[in-house]
Amino acid sequence: MTTLEDVAKIAELSRLEIEPEKLESVAANFSEILEHINRLDQVDTEGVDPVYHATSVLENVLAEDMPASPEMELGEVMDSAPKTRENQFRVPKVIE
């Protein structure tokens, strides 16, 4: 069981501010997490190759880039935009 002192120390090291009335709830959550980790630690992984990335076992996960519609002329694309200048789209400034 995770003690309130453990939670306070972890919060201090993590630079977290935990309200005093929530310490017991957080301690219970920490205990559940640690119990789950202990159960995972008991799983027999003998003969199982390590996986370093969740998608490392997948191959060819990306589809080939294909145009969704027939090609459009540049002028047609620029004409459909609200604002353009020198074949570039003009957009509102979003960073001050």
- The terminus-to-terminus CA distance of the chain in angstroms comes to 50
- Comparing CA positions, the residue from 7, 34, 6, 28 lying closest to residue 18 is 7
Number of domains in the chain: 1
Q: In one letter, which amino acid is 81?
A: A
DSSP structural state of residue 28 = H
User: Does 86 reside within a domain?
Assistant: no
pLDDT value at residue 59: 72
User: pTM for the whole thing?
Assistant: 0.49
pLDDT of residue 64: 80
CB atoms within 10 A of CB 27: 20
Block means of pLDDT (10 residues each) for the chain, 96 residues, are 89 92 93 94 90 71 75 86 92 84
> Dihedral sign, CA of 70, 75, 79, 83?
positive
Could you give the 3-state DSSP secondary structure of residue 76?
Answer: helix
Instruction: Confirm whether 9 is domain-assigned.
Output: yes
**Residue range(s) defining the domain that contains residue 17:** 4-41
Residue 62 within any structural domain of the chain: no
Residue 43's pLDDT is what?
Answer: 93
